[in-house]
Structure 1
């Protein structure tokens, strides 16, 4: 079963290559417009399997404001009533889906462009929990404002991969997306300042480069030094939500919710998403010689930190801030993820796989495909 999943995962990823990732379109098929007041999926916008619950307003003074990105796509018209450029600001996921939709609109109606009449909102013009306040929602029309097109526009938005689409008004359609962390638009990461260990002493993770040697653990659970082959994700400027896990011996590791930590178990170690760690679980922490030291988790909390770094090592493991972690995220099996990443580790031996910023294209393809082919028990939710 597992081998079949890996082969399917890898084969499709190779075919995908470095692109935008997968949307819901799977080849030529007949698409039907949404009807007025219809939404897709047929659940509430804030359901976890749609765009998810709101996480709080973003203002220009918030650290999270730096996570919003401007969209200057010339194939999209922005109404910008406020004259502040706010309608151009959105999350990276929203931007990617919007740009995909813009192409679909031009293909569907030559000479017509996508039009954004509302993006990020800072003027309190929506309901209290609106995703517009987080840059996760857009209200859309076509540039010709032909209302007869809006049902098909809504369908094209579904096809472009928006997580919730609502033919809300005769005057526009409403689209929204999940948070970055909930879908892994970024891989599992550690923040700036997290410490790794080299043969020459500790080093901040943001100063690590491919080819460095860092402390990790081998398959037998013993500590060993291993080579960093590339970065699955590297973004020094983002501010993200992290989970901070503290053990009884004082060791504290901070990582993104979907990152896999490796915990002590009767037969060695077991993996767990950081979000799922519970008080009483046992971290494996740096010990003496080559032996890991187990310590019970006594505290877990959510924090926001700057920077996101996810080094990939040859062993697939890494010791960060004295605790053992997998190099992988989003997929709930360390061994499956390690197998799937084998071609990336192999490529590093003969070509440069350095990532300047963002998620490595290979990892992004695998994570996107995993959303479609892996059983739910393997996936972060």
Structure 2
């Protein structure tokens, strides 16, 4: 168990020691044929609105599993509000797929259509007012300017996984991944996506296997790619100080990850 302190909100709250929260339970996905559903009610198998990474078109895709699902977690979230009246609730370490440099540096103050789909992988903590995000509007993907950024502490930590590696959350395009670059994460998750799409197992088994697979990848990524992740305390952080309780040592955390991976292999055979 860890304790987090928000220097901005001046509050302590319980938090996970190794992973970020991503989306709160009240964040909404768009479920076919167009109904807004809160993350805490979203289920594997639901068809949600996402973006085709090859062409930039809106598509319906299935939620394969949850990379993380902690309904009782309290965490600090950013609210990125745009000039198209969208307000995305997302954690600082979550990855957003944003327009390229030209779109963010052209000085435009109004929404514009997405021509093609060139994107950048950026942490939410790096986004500043005046920069642009991809948003869903009707049957189109537009770009909208971020006007304000607020911080709140909210309940729930959810990360749905789709085959495309993205989905529309609170009207805004977001990656399914956090902590590492989107393309790296999607490449690492491709084997899992293929298995989940083809595996005729119960949803409980699929979800358990997914959790262990992701835990191992995060542990391996922290060891092998130390510069690829969002580090707590660096200039991109939102001001959250994380401390590990005295009874929990870093070796205990690594050991728990190793055990999860081991039991995942045993239970999936």
Task: Report the TM-score when normalising by structure 1.
Answer: 0.50
Hey, what does 1:300 align to over in structure 2? 149
Hey, what does 1:374 align to over in structure 2? 225
- Going from structure 1 to structure 2, the CA distance change for 1:274 and 1:364 (only over 3 Å counts) comes to same
Shift of 1:187: 4.3
Hey, what does 1:190 align to over in structure 2? 23
Computed over aligned residues only, the root mean square deviation of the Cα atoms, in angstroms, reads: 2.5
Long gaps (5+) in structure 2: 103-116, 232-269
Hey, what does 2:43 align to over in structure 1? 209
State the distance in 1 between where 2:71 and 2:58 align. 28
Structure number with the higher strand fraction is 2
Hey, what does 1:41 align to over in structure 2? none
| 1:362 counterpart = 2:210 | no
Does the CA contact (< 8 Å) of 2:93 and 2:230 recur in 1?
A: yes
- Going from structure 1 to structure 2, the CA distance change for 1:360 and 1:279 (only over 3 Å counts) comes to same
Shift of 1:288: 2.4
State the distance in 2 between where 1:353 and 1:217 align. 25
Hey, what does 2:95 align to over in structure 1? 260
Does the CA contact (< 8 Å) of 1:259 and 1:273 recur in 2?
A: yes
Q: Residue 342 of structure 1: SS of its match in structure 2?
A: helix
Does the CA contact (< 8 Å) of 1:214 and 1:225 recur in 2?
A: yes
Picking from 230, 242, 250, the partner of 2:85 is 250
Hey, what does 2:109 align to over in structure 1? none
Hey, what does 2:193 align to over in structure 1? 345
Shift of 1:186: 2.7
Q: Residue 176 of structure 2: SS of its match in structure 1?
A: strand
- Going from structure 1 to structure 2, the CA distance change for 1:371 and 1:63 (only over 3 Å counts) comes to closer
CA deviation vs aligned residue, 1:316-346 (integer Å, no higher than 9, x gap): 1010110000000000x21111110012112
Hey, what does 1:281 align to over in structure 2? 131
Q: Looking at CA atoms only, which structure, 1 or 2, has the larger radius of gyration?
A: 1
State the distance in 1 between where 2:3 and 2:76 align. 15
Write the mapping of 1:50-199 to structure 2, written as runs, cut at 5 A.
55=6, 64=13, 67=14, 180=17, 185-199=18-32
Task: Report the TM-score when normalising by structure 2.
Answer: 0.70
CA deviation vs aligned residue, 1:166-204 (integer Å, no higher than 9, x gap): xxxxxxxxxxxxxx3xxxx23452111211111132211
Does the CA contact (< 8 Å) of 1:221 and 1:269 recur in 2?
A: no
Task: Count the aligned residue pairs.
Answer: 206
CA deviation vs aligned residue, 1:130-185 (integer Å, no higher than 9, x gap): xxxxxxxxxxxxxxxxxxxxxxxxxxxxxxxxxxxxxxxxxxxxxxxxxx3xxxx2
Does the CA contact (< 8 Å) of 2:71 and 2:156 recur in 1?
A: yes
- Going from structure 1 to structure 2, the CA distance change for 1:195 and 1:52 (only over 3 Å counts) comes to closer
State the distance in 2 between where 1:324 and 1:226 align. 14
